[in-house]
Structure 1
Amino acid sequence: MKTWLWTAALAGTLLLGACKKNSPGTGTPTAPGSTAGLTDKVVTDKLTLPWEVLWGPDNKLWITERGGKISNVDPATGAITVIATLSDVVSRGEGGLLGMVLHPDFTTTPEVFVAYNYDKNGTYTKKIVKFTYSGGTLINPVVLIDNIPAANIHNGTRLAISPDKKLFITSGDAAAASRAQDKNNPAGKIQRINLDGSIPADNPTAGSPVWSYGHRNPQGLVFVGDRLYSSEHGNSTDDEVNIIQKGRNFGWPNVEGLCNTDAEKAFCSVNDVAEPIQIWTPTIAPSGIDYYNKDAIPQWKGSLLLAVLKDSELLQLKLNTAGTAVEAVHTFYKGKYGRMRDVAISPAGKVYIITSNGSNDRLIEVSGK
């Protein structure tokens, strides 16, 4: 889960085989989930285009807003405390201040990792910056990686730290689909670096941060056991949930969703393409994900929870025991709160969702009755 305390094992290479055939979900109508055992409430409605929500070691929700603000929110009172406003953030279209993650040993190593877009000599660009949290604010910025293409659309960007303390970064194709298949271009990739910005010796290609490629616009990322799951926006068809694997090609733009047309089958066979475990056509616009494995809401245990933008809902993706397939999909709060951007889970099992409607965006708490 996306809390500061990581309990998952290292995300290693999951060799499911090229063009794996796991009978993924096909986006057929989802069943309405029962809210009989749930209580939902608005914690605050004073956010503006929030992107990331995390449960912090201070028992607060840490939130980024695309305009450049990092805050924490008291879940009991809804009080918002601004931690920092990053002056060089440039919010343009879907860009701005995006992903954030806290060091897994935050109490002894109070580091905050953020990803944001800025203007670099007239070119819209993304960088990953590490800050130190001290005295209630962020100090000592260190740029870990720079020169990731950015655009008004398709920026990614979600961050996650693996149990062996590697930083994973999702990046969209930045509105140029051909970048996704170019291993020398950081757009359309999931990258993996050390927490000091250096490149791990066991990355797929020596000296390269690229971990996987062929991505269009992945906006969700979470570790579950020894697996790394990502949610990804499709084009006009085939939104996806993928299990991310070392060195694998995820197909875009040559493959959308499954390897099921003649051209796609040929490309998949030659290029070791990994298929998604869940797809949606028509598209729903999936964004942030987290993994629920608490007892507080028993019906959600063993599920990915997915915040959905276009279809304005929270989806429960019940995983099979092995974690390799989605057994069922249930929808919650469809249309009630508008576009949902990200989701986080507290140690006590409460679920927090942020919306992405514009001004007066909300932080919502869902708990078991």
Structure 2
Amino acid sequence: MKNYITICCATLSLLTLISSSRPGTGRVAQAADSLQVRVVKDGLTMPWEILWGPDDYIWMTEKSGKISRLNPASGQTIQIGQVPDVKVTDYGGLMGMVLHPDFARQPYVFVVYTYQEGSRFLEKVVRYSYRQQQLSQPTILVSGITGNQDHNGSRLLISPDLKLFVTTGDGNRQNVAQKLDSLNGKLLRLNLDGTIPADNPFPNSPVWSLGHRNQQGLVLVDDKMYTAEHGPNTDDEVNLIRKGGNYGWPNVAGYCDENQRGEKDWCATHQGIEPLRSWTPTIGLCALDYYNKPLFPRWKNSLLATSLKASRLLQLQLDETGTKVIGVNEFLVNQYGRLRDLCISPTGNVYVATNNFGNDKIIELTAKGNP
């Protein structure tokens, strides 16, 4: 018999201090769904990325450089690779991963991680081939991105037109987020061979958007791309990305609303783009995914996000246009510690990875009464 814990979410307490909203952006609301929660796997060491693979396994990175496939029914893991030159620090190591959309015919796995070159701490994107249940033939697509102990990003996404998107952090060097000659503090867009697409907004540059601090969430919903971004002490953000858009960092944190910092004037001069939602104090907003499955009807047309510092899963209800967050519900509040990533199965089950620096877990959320 499965070891389920049933959580009646109507009884979950809400900490309204983590939400900073403006008129028209919605309110924090109590959830009414009930969840069944099952620990699929424990004993992990800081999983960073989990994604649902075409084989109906969960594909997973761990910060130490390990790449594995996880059977979501049995919890069995199969290691398929180990990145040899990964450099692990407090917040560096093996991070994001994405699979080629046509994986059956093009079995490529893309990863991003930090490494060391002499005294320099750097970051790169590498493509592996997957054959006979092992990763091989690493091909470097981008390298030399400045890394740091913190603020490294980094999520990967492949769009339907086969472009690779990469989020980068500012590497704790704030001013570079506004400089087009730096890859830090940006959302990058590349061809799958690492070359620069001709239709990028800045000539001969992989930069798609700029002015970001530390983006650790990335999802594409139809033609709309959303990112989740860590703020300093204020203003974690969910952003709707525009081609060539400037999101303000370090001149602006969150909304363009602080006269003392000159945020309003800066945004007017530079056409700064405000977030869809911000959180003050910060909650360590991390992964993003899009939910539109019938298993949880109340979650349809929602972004799901994980929180590190505030230790919870958030449901961000979108309006019909996808341009506003009209409500926020919270789940797993302070129950499993820091939550790093999530993925969604074709049937609508949600899987969440913890990030507690030891004995981390993959948790399954399904509807109450679902077998």
TM-score, normalised on structure 2? 0.91
Gaps in structure 1 of 5+ consecutive residues? 1-21
- Report the Cα offset of residue 357 of structure 1: 0.3
Match of 1:224 in 2: 221
Aligned pairs (5 A) from 1:168-247: 168-247=165-244
Match of 1:337 in 2: 336
- Report the Cα offset of residue 368 of structure 1: 1.4
Match of 1:307 in 2: 306
- Report the Cα offset of residue 207 of structure 1: 1.1
1:44 partner letter: K
Contact persistence 1:24–1:279 (CA under 8 A): no
| 1:126 aligns to 2:94 (yes or no) | no
In 1, the alpha carbon distance for the partners of 2:208 and 2:107 equals 26
Match of 1:320 in 2: 319
Match of 2:93 in 1: 96
Match of 1:33 in 2: 31
Contact persistence 1:294–1:349 (CA under 8 A): yes
Aligned pairs (5 A) from 1:330-369: 330-369=329-368
SS in 2 for 1:132: strand
SS in 2 for 1:252: coil
RMSD over aligned Cα, in angstroms?
Answer: 1.4
Gaps in structure 2 of 5+ consecutive residues? 1-21
2:365 partner letter: V
SS in 2 for 1:90: coil
Q: Deviations over 1:56-92 (max 9, x none)?
A: 0111000101110001110000001111111100111
1:290 partner letter: D
Structure 1 residues 122 and 77 mapped into 2: Cα distance closer, same or farther (>3 Å)?
Answer: same
- Report the Cα offset of residue 299 of structure 1: 1.3
In 1, the alpha carbon distance for the partners of 2:308 and 2:86 equals 23
2:149 partner letter: N
Q: Deviations over 1:247-301 (max 9, x none)?
A: 1110000001011123111101111111100001111110001000110111111
SS in 2 for 1:358: coil
Contact persistence 2:33–2:296 (CA under 8 A): no
Aligned pairs (5 A) from 1:57-96: 57-96=54-93
Contact persistence 1:154–1:174 (CA under 8 A): yes
In 2, the alpha carbon distance for the partners of 1:342 and 1:306 equals 8
Ranked by relative contact order (alpha carbons within 8 Å, sequence separation 6 or more), the top structure is 1
The number of aligned residues is 346
In 1, the alpha carbon distance for the partners of 2:30 and 2:96 equals 30
Which of 229, 245, 249 is the aligned partner of 1:248?
245
How much identity, in percent, do the aligned residues show?
49
SS in 2 for 1:180: helix
Contact persistence 2:187–2:210 (CA under 8 A): yes
Match of 1:52 in 2: 49
- Report the Cα offset of residue 220 of structure 1: 0.0
Contact persistence 2:33–2:298 (CA under 8 A): no
Q: Following TM superposition, where does structure 1 have runs of at least 4 consecutive aligned residues deviating by more than 3 angstroms? A: 22-26
Q: Deviations over 1:128-177 (max 9, x none)?
A: 00010001111111100111110001001001111101000000000111
Match of 1:14 in 2: none
